[in-house]
Amino acid sequence: MINVSTRMTKSLLAIHGCSAVFLGLLLYTVILTGTLAVFEHELGVWANPPSQAGEAPLPSGIGARMKTLAASVDPAYLDEVGVFPSSDGRLMAFFHTHVEAEQGREAVEEGTLILLEPASLEELDRVTGSADEVFRHFGNNALSNFLLDLHIRLLLPGQWGLWATGLLGFAMLVASVSGFVIHRHLIKDIFTLRRRRADVLAARDAHVIAGSWSLPFAFVLAFTGAFFSFGGAIGLPMLAAIAFGGDVETALEVLQPEVGEDSSPAPLADLDLILVSAAERTGGEPQNMFVNHWGRADALVTVRMSAEEGGLLPGAVLYKGATGEFFKTQPNLGNEPSFGGDLAGLMSPLHFGNFAGTPSKIVWFALGFASAYVALTGMVLWTRRRESEPGWDKLARATAWLGYGLPASLAAVAAGYFLLIDGVSGLGYSLLYVFLGGLLATALLSFGARSAEAANRLLLRLTGGIMLLLPLLRWLAAEGPGWGMALSSGLSWVFVMDLCFILGALACLRYKRPHSSPEEINIERTDEDKTVAERVADAA
């Protein structure tokens, strides 16, 4: 052991504690936003509902409608065509091609994006330009896209965001495994809640219970999250660098099925019949459809399916576009079925919790909320025990700021969405400014409050107040449907989300956190109450 002075030891402990809280708050951000993203589609429908809910992700008649739309766009954009539901339930048809970029840069997707009503298939709007420009043009997905970008990349540019969330996922994976190994009373702690003891010990028991119950979920969440982040940030670029001279496009093409090239013109087969055939063949429901080389003899139609009833793995089936003949079933990875491909296919349903529809989403949301609660309360308990020491009060306030200010800022983003949706183009940037403004305002409130405990209560009430306004803003400012109209139009999630926000707001406004002084935190601490770190220190 290295001998250092007492002053140096305290400085190192302060650095160690600050870095731990910083990483913990980042992990809390990823977990909380991921928990909300479980209901990304439902949030999208709530924020900007269509006039009528569609009968399916790809409703009947979409094939014929796509042929009509194809006749109205530039033939150069028929190289690759896709139709898929957006997060708010509307359909997006993207006709595009790849345009060569400057040397050293990747090719740019350019085309026409058309927005359709899901029930009537009526065209709402269209825009032509690069992929980034056309998708940014429509504000209907801005709220859910912002939430996903915060969860996946922490709003960082390029691969940096994937690196950051991948490392946080790996840290959570290590914490889950090590926590399971060193936990001495796992079964006992699952059912232990000592309500009559000191307030802080009851809070600690709640922290341990939530952590124990959500431990398997935390492992699954961390593993699958790290897989997605590192797969995009490291896996594919590394494969391209080793085998294809760094050409990612070529690497992706090799993973696609081989089809003989034939550029001679040929009419496209009936796409609606292809969708019916895909559903009968797989037992799932078509989720999206892509056509390569529309109008050519070598056209290939790819239909991505949901998992069949009782299954976990989604699938994809391929058809020859000119004849409508079944070509092959596309594995989740590569061109041939494999155990590794099946494992890769499991990552998505296990991470997003959508394998059993709404019931599994509710379970994933509850477990995700428990994981966020564990991350936040762990840091709150740890900083409160030390807040009487020099410098630790600021760390406790920082925990209050991001722990309770993040939900308030996210609620402010939703409020800003309703206020800005009809008057601002490029809505995603506006929501970013609202979010940063919310973080700044909550930081001022946190560090200006008389204590970290007071900051917690203030920010909770602020969150509750904003959440209570959201249904009114959706109805009045954004001119969304009322509950009766929403229910009659098959948009039940509008009513459900409004109700959830109202109940959540009331819970935040009514919540009264019992106050315990730093001195009270250390009373009644038997050996089993001590943390693992404290027991290790005692043994040393």
What is the reported pLDDT for 525? Answer: 44
- Note whether residue 533 is domain-resident: yes
| Domain boundary residue, one of 83, 103, 138 | 138
Q: Distance between CA atoms of 94 and 85, rounded to whole angstroms?
A: 11
Provide the residue-wise pLDDT of the chain in tens; the chain has 540 residues. Answer: 466 677 777 676 667 667 778 888 999 999 999 999 999 999 999 999 999 998 899 999 999 999 999 999 999 999 999 999 999 999 999 999 988 766 656 678 999 999 999 999 999 999 999 998 999 888 888 999 999 999 999 999 888 898 899 989 988 888 778 777 766 666 666 666 655 555 666 677 777 778 777 888 989 999 999 888 887 656 656 555 555 555 555 555 656 666 778 999 999 999 999 999 999 999 999 999 999 999 999 999 999 999 888 778 888 999 999 999 999 998 877 677 778 778 888 898 999 999 888 999 999 999 999 999 989 988 888 887 776 776 678 889 999 999 999 999 999 999 999 998 865 566 888 999 999 999 999 999 999 999 898 999 999 999 999 999 999 999 998 889 999 999 999 999 999 999 999 999 999 998 765 555 444 444 444 444 444 444 433 443
Q: What is the pLDDT of residue 120?
A: 95
Residue 347 resides in a domain: no
Residues 502 and 399 grouped into a single domain: yes
Strands 300-305 and 315-320: antiparallel
- How many residues make up the chain in this entry? 540
- C-alpha to C-alpha distance for 166 and 222, rounded to whole angstroms: 9
Q: How far apart are CA 113 and CA 96, in angstroms?
A: 8
What pLDDT is recorded for position 105?
Answer: 63
Torsion from C-alpha of 535, 536, 539, 540, nearest 10 degrees: -140
Q: How far is CA 222 from CA 148, 150, 314, 415, 499, in A?
A: 16, 17, 21, 31, 31
273 close to 320: Cβ distance less than 8 angstroms: no
Contact criterion met (CB below 8 Å) for 496 and 533: no
Judge whether 532 lies within some domain.
yes
Looking at the structure, tell me whether residues 508 and 371 fall in a common domain. yes
Inter-axis angle of helices 452-472 and 358-384, nearest 10: 150
Within a domain: 519:
yes
Helices (H), 38-157: 40-47, 62-70, 131-137, 142-153
Burial bucket for residue 202 (CB in 10 Å: 0-12, 13-18, 19+): middle
Contact between 90 and 21 (Cβ < 8 Å):
no
Q: Are residues 374 and 505 in the same domain?
A: yes
* 407/518 same-domain check: yes
Among 138, 166, 186, the domain boundary falls at: 138
Q: Residue 187 has which token pair?
A: 């079964």
Please give the radius of gyration of the chain, using alpha carbons only, rounded to the nearest integer: 26
Asked if 87 and 132 sit in the same domain, the reply is: yes
Distance CA 116, CA 124 (A): 6
For residue 198, is it within any domain?
yes
Domain-located, residue 314: no
User: What is the number of structural domains in the chain?
Assistant: 2
Give me the pLDDT at residue 505, please: 97
Q: Are residues 102 and 161 in the same domain?
A: no
Q: How far apart are CA 512 and CA 5, in angstroms?
A: 43
The torsion angles phi and psi of 273, rounded to 5 degrees, stand at -65, -35
The half-sphere exposure of 353 on its side-chain side, counting CA atoms within 13 A, is 23
Query: Does any domain span residue 318?
Result: no
| Torsion of the alpha carbons at 126, 127, 128 and 129, rounded to the nearest 10 | -150
CA-CA distances (angstroms) from residue 450 to 385, 398, 453, 506? 17, 14, 8, 24
- Same-domain pairing of 421 and 530: yes
Give the range of the structural domain holding residue 67, as residue numbers without chain letter: 62-138
Burial (0-12, 13-18, 19+ Cβ within 10 Å), 149: middle
Q: What is the pLDDT of residue 332?
A: 78
Sign of the Cα torsion 372, 374, 379, 380 reads: positive
Q: How many angstroms separate the CA atoms of 42 and 353, rounded? A: 14
- Alpha carbons 534 and 540: distance in angstroms, whole number: 10
Instruction: Calculate the alpha carbon distances from 510 to 207, 254, 335, 361, 458 in Å.
Output: 21, 58, 56, 27, 12
Q: Is residue 53 part of a domain?
A: no
CA 515 – CA 167 distance, rounded (Å): 35
Same domain, 69 and 186: no
Q: Which of 150, 531, 467 is nearest to 539 (CA)?
A: 531
Q: What is the DSSP string of 437-450?
A: HHHHHHHHHHHHSS
Domain boundary among 95, 114, 138: 138
Considering the domain architecture, whether residues 425 and 518 belong to the same structural domain is answered as yes
Contacts of 538 (CB under 8 A, 6+ apart): 530
Tokens of 56: 């399916």
* In a shared domain, residues 359 and 464: yes
Q: Specify the DSSP element, H or E, that contains 227.
A: helix 215-230
Pairing mode of beta strands 108-116, 315-320: unpaired
Same domain, residue pair 28 and 80: no
Q: Which two tokens stand for residue 257?
A: 């099925």
Q: How far apart are CA 126 and CA 112, in angstroms?
A: 7
Assess whether 432 and 474 both reside in one domain. Answer: yes
